[in-house]
Amino acid sequence: MKIIEVVRNINRGGFGVIDEVICDDGGHYARKQFHPAEQFVKDQKLCDKLLVRFVREVKTQKILPIDYFIPILFDDLISSTPYFIMPLADGVYFDEIQESKKEGRNPDGLGDILNALEFLHDKGLVHRDLKPQNILKHNGIWKLADFGLISQDKEILSQTITTSKQAFGTTYYCAPEQVIEFNRITPQADIYSFGAILHDIFTDGNRVPHSELDGPGEIGQIIARCTRHKKEQRFKSIKSIRTKLLSLLVSKGSTSKNADDLEWVDNFLNIGNWTEEILENFVFYLKRSPTIANLVLTNVNENNIEFMHSINKSLFNDFALIYLDWVYEKSFDFNYCDVVINNVNLIFSKSKDIEVKSRCSISAAELGKSHNRWYVMRYVVKMNGPEMDEDLAFRVALEIELDTRNALNFKRCVERISLKASSYHKLIEDVLKENTF
């Protein structure tokens, strides 16, 4: 990939410069070039370390999946001025936050950010420099970029945090332990940074760097939990943040004037005190109340699923079918789909009832297709893979055979994530191949 023309400068950091360039295919791209700032040039030892860091950044970013991270299209790491080429971003999250405030809405992409962080943490990596300027929109998805701080070199990190031209941005989102514990940074540092981003979104964003933060109402409690000064007191994982945050945001639009509905909502929030009799009454009420679904079901999470299953498995299955029907028919916020599919997957793993498990498969496929959410689609393939129980696969295949809507959903789920029908159990694969939709 040959660069024909440099169009404009996009950004300048302490150790590199990003320009918009035109390449020999006529396309416009972003080039990040290794270029230490003037204050570092005289320190050859430091520059050598910075070059190692730059190469590490490129190699790290190249192996990360493009579903979560900005892809590297080309690199030259052996020239006198090493560089790499990325797609031009369609947006920067800093701008998305500002636009969403002007329009009086929540910003898009919170679920995308959480998914990318969860992937990194599951692989034993920590981003260490999460901030709105490093979250870019590409192909309709908000993705992470700039992985230079995955390095744990104390000297490099201290220079980045204290002397970079972008130091204010970095410091503004940096966990307190990052300025003193360079070699012991955990995922809780990224959780602090995510809390700081939430602080930008839901408050005026004014704060003292490295401090404990808060905000209005329930969202303030989430911000506070993310940004505790002691990392051990923060959320333990991205998954726990996702459920609480996205459930809260989606439930804010659900209201009811029915006193019985509101009482059951309050009761559901204290489900840990329920008995089998209360669960039975709840399921009965849920079946006959047309107004309570959004109020209660948006508060379903892995903890109350586990608890209901432990009380009574038959009542759990009754509840699960109600929930799964709601999932099948309901349109959700794009990011909240990730919470829903985690719930569906847990129900699928907990229940032994073939009707419940088949309904999990069908509802998950509808969720993935109708919302065009690849995160959900991967779960659909996982639940319905070749190792699926034969009787269950037969039941799912029958549902696909009987309803073209289901067939289209399953077909779309594998196509969207570049897989084939053979990724499903053989019975499901066969029914998809036998029918033209």
326-327-332 Cα angle (round to 5):
110
Q: Can you give the pLDDT at residue 148?
A: 60
Rounded to the nearest angstrom, the gap between the alpha carbon of residue 297 and the centroid of all alpha carbons in its chain is 21
Q: What is the DSSP letter of 292?
A: S
Q: Give average pLDDT by consecutive 10-residue segment, the chain, 437 residues.
A: 91 83 95 83 82 86 91 92 94 96 93 94 90 94 79 46 43 87 81 97 94 94 96 93 86 66 87 94 88 85 95 96 94 86 97 97 95 91 97 96 94 93 96 77
pTM score of the predicted model: 0.77
- Measured distance CA(111)–CA(106) in Å, rounded: 12
Q: Can you give the pLDDT at residue 335?
A: 82
Structure tokens at 410: 């399953």
Would you say 77 and 34 are in contact if contact means Cβ atoms under 8 Å apart? no
Start-to-end Cα distance in the chain: 41
Which residues does 295 contact at the CB level (< 8 Å), separation at least 6? 251, 254, 255, 256, 261, 262, 264, 265
Render pLDDT for 113-151 as a digit per residue (tens, 0 to 9): 999 999 999 998 899 889 999 999 999 999 999 876 544
DSSP letters of 43-101?
-HHHHHHHHHHHHHHHHHHHHS-TTTBPPP-EEE-SSSS-EEEEEPPSEEHHHHHHHHH
Would you say 78 and 304 are in contact if contact means Cβ atoms under 8 Å apart? no
3-state helix, strand, coil in the chain (%, to 5): 60, 10, 30
Render pLDDT for 250-296 as a digit per residue (tens, 0 to 9): 766 555 667 888 888 888 988 999 999 999 999 999 988 877 887 88
HSE (side-chain half, CA atoms, 13 Å) at 264:
24
Structure tokens at 131: 């901030």
Which residues does 427 contact at the CB level (< 8 Å), separation at least 6? 390, 393, 394, 396, 397
- Measured distance CA(143)–CA(114) in Å, rounded: 10
Rounded to the nearest angstrom, the gap between the alpha carbon of residue 54 and the centroid of all alpha carbons in its chain is 26
Would you say 85 and 29 are in contact if contact means Cβ atoms under 8 Å apart? yes
Would you say 58 and 98 are in contact if contact means Cβ atoms under 8 Å apart? no
Structure tokens at 323: 């929930």
Q: Can you give the pLDDT at residue 373?
A: 87
Q: Can you give the pLDDT at residue 163?
A: 40
The amino acid at residue 33 is: Q
